[in-house]
């Protein structure tokens, strides 16, 4: 089975532009998480979904960030407008929580550079 | 609230020497504990986990971790490291019944030939 698929792997954009990151979770998984990784702050949870419904978005830094999950096989994280401090690696992870074990399966990440 | 502390940001060790990566957690309820490994330019992968039962858990590549409830610790150990173990290691905690997984800041293990 394919793992979590993220696109693009690398994105370079200019300040003020809109950025959209995409994620396809593992088929059958019912939880989806968006994390951001930076040198300064480590791995931060931005938002997570259960059965396509956002459960906790308290980690979303500000209104410039939004995330959607229109169906079980696709999610987006959008930044509009982007700023240089948004530069980071953004990871998507999915999980099957039937046993309440909490194991996460990560994608390879999207490295965002905002100039 | 739950949190994880990894005090060591970098740990250099010679090949074939033992290593311990420290992890302490805080949570007001029962916990599940995890170690994930991240190789360069890749996502995180699960290395091992403690859910219940035996407090000593092992991975397939020789790592082990012991859950110590009284010390709220979950240190990762390997008796003899290999060059291929060079990576960043993240400790993580999930409180029972709560779906959010909180990660530590990571420890970079550098194995020196």
DSSP one-letter code for A16: T
Instruction: Supply the pLDDT for residue B73.
Output: 94
- The answer, for B94 touching chain A at a CB cutoff of 8 Å, is yes
Q: Is the pLDDT of residue B1 over 70?
A: yes
Instruction: Supply the pLDDT for residue A62.
Output: 85
- The answer, for B1 touching chain A at a CB cutoff of 8 Å, is no
Nearest 5 degrees, angle CA B37-CA B54-CA B25? Answer: 50
pLDDT tens digits for B82-104? 999 999 999 999 876 667 888 99
| Mean pLDDT of all residues in B38-57 | 89
Q: Is the pLDDT of residue A98 over 70?
A: no
Task: Using the CB atoms, write b or e for B40-61: b if 16+ within 10 Å.
Answer: eeebbebbbbbbeeeeebebee
Q: Which of A21, A40, A43 to mutate to test the interface with B (most CBs of B within 10 A)?
A: A43
| CB-based contact B100 A107, cutoff 8 Å | no
B-chain residues near A26 (CB < 8 A): none
B-chain residues near A4 (CB < 8 A): 43
Alpha-carbon distance B108 to B113, whole Å?
Answer: 16
How far is Cα of residue B8 from the mean position of the Cα atoms in its chain? 12
* B3 to chain A: closest CA residue: A44
Please give, rounded to a whole number of angstroms, the shortest distance from the CA of A64 to a CA of chain B. 23
Q: Is the pLDDT of residue B51 over 90?
A: no
Instruction: Supply the pLDDT for residue B25.
Output: 93
């Amino acid at each position: 089975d394919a793992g979590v698929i993220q696109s693009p792997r690398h994105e370079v954009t200019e300040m003020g532009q809109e950025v959209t990151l995409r994620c396809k979770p593992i088929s059958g998984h019912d939880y989806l998480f968006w994390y951001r990784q930076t040198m300064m702050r480590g791995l931060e949870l931005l938002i997570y979904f259960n059965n396509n419904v956002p459960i906790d978005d308290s980690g979303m830094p500000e209104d410039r960030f939004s995330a959607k999950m229109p169906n079980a096989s696709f999610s987006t994280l959008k930044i509009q407008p982007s700023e240089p401090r948004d530069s980071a690696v953004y990871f998507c992870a999915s999980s099957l929580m039937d046993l309440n074990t909490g194991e996460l399966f990560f994608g390879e990440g999207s490295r965002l550079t905002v100039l | 609230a739950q949190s994880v502390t990894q005090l060591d940001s970098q740990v250099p060790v010679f090949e074939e020497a033992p290593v311990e990566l420290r992890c302490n957690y805080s949570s007001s309820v029962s916990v599940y504990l995890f170690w994930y490994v991240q190789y360069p330019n890749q996502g995180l992968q699960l290395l091992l986990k403690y859910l219940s039962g035996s407090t000593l858990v092992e991975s397939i590549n020789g790592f082990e971790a012991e859950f110590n409830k009284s010390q709220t610790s979950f240190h990762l150990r390997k008796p003899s490291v290999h060059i291929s173990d060079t990576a960043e290691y993240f400790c993580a905690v999930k409180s029972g019944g709560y779906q959010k997984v909180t990660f530590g800041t990571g420890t970079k293990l550098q194995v020196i030939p």
